[in-house]
Structure 1
Amino acid sequence: MANRDGHRRFGNIRKLPSGRFQIRYPGPDGQFRTGDTTFATRTHADRALIIIEAQLIAGEWTDPQRGKVLLGDYARAWIRERPGLRPKTVEGYTWLLNRHIVPGLGGVPVGKLSTPMVRAWRASLLNAGISVSTTAKAYRLLRAVLMTAVEEDKMISRNPCRIKGADNEHTPERPILTVTQVFELADRMADRRFRALVLLTTFASLRWGEVIALRRADVDLTARTVRVREQLLELDGGQMLLGPPKSRAGRRTVGIPAAIVPALTDHLDEFVGDDADAFVFLGLHGGFLRGGNFRRAAKWGEALKAMGITGLHFHDLRHTGNTLAAQSGASLADLKARMGHDSDRAALIYQHATRDADQKIANALSARVEADRKSADNGGTGAPIAAG
């Protein structure tokens, strides 16, 4: 906008030797920027300055110079500088970025990314045989990176990740064991030290990293509870990292069925040191228990084959336990507290008031175990558990 003397109140316009017009204007920091494009007429240049001034006033202006940063460079810095990311999360993000995002979009300036470009990138992953689940993870990472570019760094005015349903993972239904099958699998472990591991993981709905991080002091057989306060993570380089659970909700105390207390008692007596900080589950040579070592020592695959079960992963034991707990009639809030799922603040606060309800879940599980075991003793096989 010009004043009476013909000088603009915001920015300025100059005519280039080519006859086109170029704009300059001050950014929020007071430093002058030169427009990326030139204009055929002074009127068009004037309109561009009016739009930029309005964007600055509304807080919607984005710095075109910053938008020239390549996505790959920006995303790597985003991962490196993001506060609170766990080492395992950093590994996962870095793998997704280098494997699935950088090859297609890494060389594109952040300011040039568009929704059609993101849509074509996603389609190329799926057409190349990348699973829907992995593609969704890559898309969510890209969206999070670009959300920072919009909201914090003001590099772009709008996130181009606007594809409906692209963040959804359509994972196949995981197998679920019957109670009888859980006990049979535990009994088929080639090393007896892993019998209690199978039972506790299932009936306390624990994650692998949580169960192998348990200490003697975390298991209270009198109160029939197990306290989750740490997790062990195995990084890609083989390093074992002990740290807090993956979320605030993961730090919890879970009731355990009376039916598995004898197995836990025997395990603590035979395999666990007397010190309160002694780890409950260790490898054959006294080191941290690793997934690969466990599967080999326990002969996991052979046990499943003998039972006629295919495709069962260790984390499906937690899925089985979650399903059993859900079938006990517990409320959603109680289940979230037991499973250690992320939830809103009210549910986290309610977690501390659900110990009685949680023990009822454990009692219901115990009754279910006894009923199925009696059925098995009488020649039955236990009723399959319907997926929850």
Structure 2
Amino acid sequence: MPLRDITTPQVRRWRTTLLDQGVGAATVAKAYQILRAIMNTAVDDGLVQRNPCRIKGGATAPSAERPFLSVAEVFRLADAIPARYRVMILLASFTALRFGELAGLQRWDVDLERRTISVRRSVAETRSDGLTVKAPKSAAGVRTVAFPASLTVELAAHLAEYAEPGRTGRVFVGPRGGVLRRNNFRRIWLRAIGAAGLGDVHFHDLRHTGNTLAATGGASTRELMHRMGHSSVRAALIYQHLVNGRDHEIAGHVDDQIRRVKGPDPGSPSGT
């Protein structure tokens, strides 16, 4: 129909009809966003005087709160997954790194002495571009995150056993030795969460878990945004957090939670 003939009541009926027909709320919200954008352009071009898309909240889809795992559940999942991915589960849960960031890690990104991981690249896969390895989307995504001391021994063992050789060798590889991709990891993931009895858990929920653990340790909003690589964090604040030691304090709190589940680390000098 002509753009000038579209009215606000018609837009409301159209949206309500879609929802009544069982179309998903997220799909309806996206369709409404597109229509609103079309009509905004029509207003800018002088084709219509007023945008008829005026439904408050129409472009926002309600999203269910995603679960986060307890430390005990994280280790149950890590025990259920093949050994070469155990440390990947632990890092995702306790440092809040994304799947693509973990897949893009190289040996030189891991500093066992300082207990830090530097995120410099990420693996992404789209229909148009295929598999790509590139820098994080924002400057804040390039960051250095401290990991709990309890993971040091396991991470060192993983590097010796499963990581590719050389300074730029990948820390995590796919089931057949190639690049770790979501589609070749999905079957492994589903088997593991089934064996661990965790139900509907997504890999991204491990990131939510890491953020929640850090928050319970008293991390400020800005510190949380640094660990998660959010683009609104200013570079000066990122460096300040790393220098003043708060990032390691956050990792230390997560470490305390791990020790409550695992007990003392026999490999540490003090046995604690």
TM-score w.r.t. structure 2 length? 0.85
Q: How does 1:249-328 map to 2 (within 5 A)?
A: 249-296=140-187, 298=188, 300-328=189-217
Question: Are the aligned partners of 2:106 and 2:167 in contact in 1 as well (CA < 8 Å)?
Answer: yes
**Superposed CA offset, 1:118-154 (max 9, x none):** 3333223322222223333343344445445545x55
CA distance in structure 2 between the aligned counterparts of 1:353 and 1:143, rounded to whole angstroms: 42
Is 1:187 matched with 2:79? yes
Question: How many angstroms apart in 2 are the aligned matches of 1:170 and 1:195?
Answer: 33
Distance apart, 1:238 and its partner CA: 8.7
Matches within 5 A, 1:105-254: 108-144=1-37, 146-150=39-43, 153=45, 155-189=47-81, 191-236=82-127, 239-254=130-145
* Aligned amino acid, residue 175 of structure 1: P
Residue deviations 1:46-90 (CA, integer Å, cap 9, x gap): xxxxxxxxxxxxxxxxxxxxxxxxxxxxxxxxxxxxxxxxxxxxx
* Inter-partner Cα distance in structure 2 for 1:318 and 1:304: 16
1:147 to 1:215, Cα distance in 2 relative to 1, 3 A = farther
Q: For 2:76 and 2:121, how far apart are their aligned partners in 1? A: 29
Aligned equivalents of 1:250 and 1:142: distance in 2?
32
The structural deviation recorded for 1:334 is 0.9
1:253 counterpart SS class: strand
Distance in 1 between residues matched to 2:87 and 2:164, nearest whole Å: 16
Q: Which amino acid aligns with 1:250?
A: G
Task: Note if contact 2:80-2:196 (Cα within 8 Å) is conserved in structure 1.
Answer: no
Q: Structure 1 368/111 Cα, relative in aligned 2: closer, same or farther at 3 Å?
A: same
Give the gaps of 5 or more residues in structure 1: 1-107, 376-388
- Contact kept, 8 Å, 1:283 with 1:293, in 2: the verdict is yes
> Alpha-carbon deviation of 1:316?
1.0
Q: Show CA shifts across 1:5-49 (max 9, x none).
A: xxxxxxxxxxxxxxxxxxxxxxxxxxxxxxxxxxxxxxxxxxxxx
1:371 counterpart residue number: 260
Deviation digits for residues 298-333 of structure 1 (CA, Å, limit 9, x no counterpart):
3x3333233322101111111111111111111111
1:145–1:280 CA distance, 2 compared to 1 (3 A): farther
Q: Deviations over 1:98-126 (max 9, x none)?
A: xxxxxxxxxx4555544333333322332
User: Helix, strand or coil for the counterpart of 2:257?
Assistant: helix
Q: Which amino acid aligns with 1:188?
A: A
TM-score, structure 1 as length reference: 0.61
Partner of 2:267: none
CA drift of 1:178 comes to: 1.0
Alpha-carbon contact 2:140-2:234 (below 8 Å) kept: no
Give, in whole Å, the separation in 2 of the partners of 1:120 and 1:350: 48
Residues 253 and 144 from structure 1, CA distance in 2 versus in 1: closer, same or farther, beyond 3 angstroms? farther
- Aligned residue number for residue 23 of structure 1: none
Structure with more relative contact order (C-alpha pairs < 8 Å, separation 6 or more): 2
Amino acid of the residue matched to residue 237 of structure 2? Y
Q: 1:362 to 1:140 in 2, by over 3 A?
A: farther
Q: Which of 213, 223, 247 lines up with 1:358 in the alignment?
A: 247
Aligned residue number for residue 12 of structure 1: none
**Aligned mates of 2:49, 2:235 — CA distance in 1:** 35
Partner SS for 1:338:
helix
Q: Which amino acid in the other structure matches residue 222 of structure 1? A: E
RMSD between superposed Cα atoms in Å:
2.5
**Contact 1:202–1:317 (CA<8 Å) still a contact in 2?**
yes
Query: CA separation of 1:128/1:286 partners in 2, compared to 1, >3 Å: closer, same or farther?
Result: same
Q: Distance in 1 between matches of 2:247 and 2:42?
A: 43
Q: Is the 8 A contact 1:337 1:348 kept in 2?
A: no
Give the total of aligned pairs: 262
